[in-house]
Amino acid sequence: MKNNLSYASSWFYDKYFVDNNHITSLEEVEFEGETYPVFARKVSVAYRDMGHDLEATSDHFFIEVDVLGVKIPVDLNQIVTKNKRIKATKFTVAAS
């Protein structure tokens, strides 16, 4: 297993995958030779559909990156969708 993290978005929810297996939790990743602890956060996106105001809410996974001594949270889906390779090192695969 390569443990490559990937991400898929839909109108209603977002999903993360490791080697094409849907995951429910992610605790640690390796990115550009560094290991990072991961935390989850609920992210909501408002949208309109056929005149109705709706909101989609999903769990997103984040790492904190040190930038000039300040910890900046980075949403992993922003990195994965830029074709950057992220290796999941601690995760839970969804029950099938």
Determine the pLDDT at residue 30: 94
The residue extents of the domains of the chain are 5-93
Per-residue b or e along 33-53, where b marks 16 or more CB atoms closer than 10 Å to that residue's CB: eeebebeeeeeeeeeeeeeee
Cβ neighbours of residue 63 under 8 Å, at least 6 residues apart? 29, 31, 36, 37, 38, 39, 73, 74, 76
pLDDT in tens, 48-77: 888 999 887 788 899 999 999 999 999 998
**Model pTM score:** 0.80
Terminal C-alpha separation, the chain: 19
